[in-house]
Amino acid sequence: MRAVEKTKEEWAQELTGQQCFVLFEKGTERPFSHPYNDNKEKGTYVCAACNTPLFDSDAKFDSGTGWPSFFKPVDADNVEEITDRSHGMSRTEVLCTNCGGHLGHVFNDGPRPTGLRYCMNGAALKFIKAV
């Protein structure tokens, strides 16, 4: 059971169609299509569905992939990693622990200090600018 549980209809009233597609149908956005890919401002990226803090701008880097990428989450307890065997490959899917929303995937080709690349869909995130 998740801390935040809503029906598809409830999410559809709160989120855009693209956000619902990415978060709750495990979709993905086109690379280089979301403004967060190029965002350089200081702040925190939270789950677009439930506002759980996910990534800090200090952990963001330009991976060249076209999706916002981070080398670590704000708190490991805020993300859940599960095996994704869709599309004929094996990857590690990243979900929001609170609502179960699909955020993207994590790969072992990121920068130091973790060597990880959390490749996230911008539509799954909301940016809270630091004050």
Binding positions are: 47, 50, 96, 99
Across 110-119, b (16+ Cβ under 10 Å) vs e yields beeeeebbbb
What one-letter code names the amino acid at 112?
A: R
Binding residues for Zn(2+): 47, 50, 96, 99
| Active-site position among 46, 59, 74, 119 | 119
Copy the structure tokens of residue 31.
Answer: 């690379």
Both structure tokens of 14: 């709160």
119 labelled catalytic: yes
Residues with catalytic function: 119
